[in-house]
Amino acid sequence: MRIDGFSRKALNGKKASQRFQLLVESHRKYQAKSKFMSGSAQKETEKTVLLDELVALIDDNKVLKEEHQAVEEAAKDTKANATALIRDEAMQRASKRKINNGEVDGSTMSKKKAFVDLQNAEIRLEQQKLE
């Protein structure tokens, strides 16, 4: 893209963004230095006024982004907590149902234990038949 009266021939968004960031960073350094120079006369040019406004806008935008991110994280945490609560309630209801259906414990027996119990029951049955 070419604009009449603009001296830079090969300027793209990446370069412009980098140059802007460098300009803002140098102005922040200038602000930090001038903070300690109270009492001395400093010139306020149009450039410094404009850069002061830009830095304030950048800082405000950064704060807004952080607040938005905090709100999103809080919403995610709320959703995760609600999901965990629902899961816990479901687990408690399932264990109550199992206890009501005649099982001793809410946990399920392993296949191996069930097989051993079945064999023991068969052995007892055969012993009763022999007696």
Question: How many angstroms separate the Cα of 80 from the Cα of each of 11, 64, 69?
Answer: 46, 24, 16
Which of 11-15, 34-38, 80-84, 113-117 has the highest average model confidence (pLDDT)? Answer: 80-84
Classify residue 1 by burial, with Cβ atoms within 10 Å: 0-12, 13-18, 19+: exposed
Backbone dihedral angles phi then psi of residue 9, each to the nearest 5 degrees? -85, -40
In this predicted structure, what is the pLDDT of residue 110?
Answer: 76
Question: Who wins on pLDDT, 36 or 47?
Answer: 47
Residue with tokens 């893209």: 1
- Write down the domain spans for the chain: 13-130
Cα 112–Cα 118–Cα 120 angle in degrees, nearest 5: 105
Give residue 106's pLDDT: 42
Render pLDDT for 61-104 as a digit per residue (tens, 0 to 9).
999 999 999 999 999 999 999 998 888 888 888 777 666 665 55
- What is the structure's pLDDT at 64? 97
